[in-house]
Amino acid sequence: MVDIASMSFTEVLQQLPALTFEQRQLLVRRALELDDPPLEESDESLVDSRLAALRENPASAMSLEEIKARLRSHHGK
């Protein structure tokens, strides 16, 4: 495992091609999260409860296409 804490920015960039696609995706997500303010406790609880409900009943989830279709039907586009 490479210790990126001791690497320069240029060295980190040079290591990117060695990462898997999934590792690069995770890196991008984590980098973007750094700019997000932390969730308040009530928001964190809401997210946790909705994830728990989804895990309990995965069939309740809608695909992106279903969501788009609903939005189009409600907004006429």
Tens digit of each residue's pLDDT, the chain (77 residues): 667 778 898 998 998 999 999 999 999 988 888 888 888 999 999 999 999 999 999 999 999 999 999 999 988 76
Domain boundaries, the chain: 4-33, 41-75
- Report the 10 Å Cβ neighbour count for 27: 14
Helices (H), 1-77: 9-15, 21-33, 41-56, 64-75
Contact indicator for 42, 29 with CB cutoff of 8 Å: no
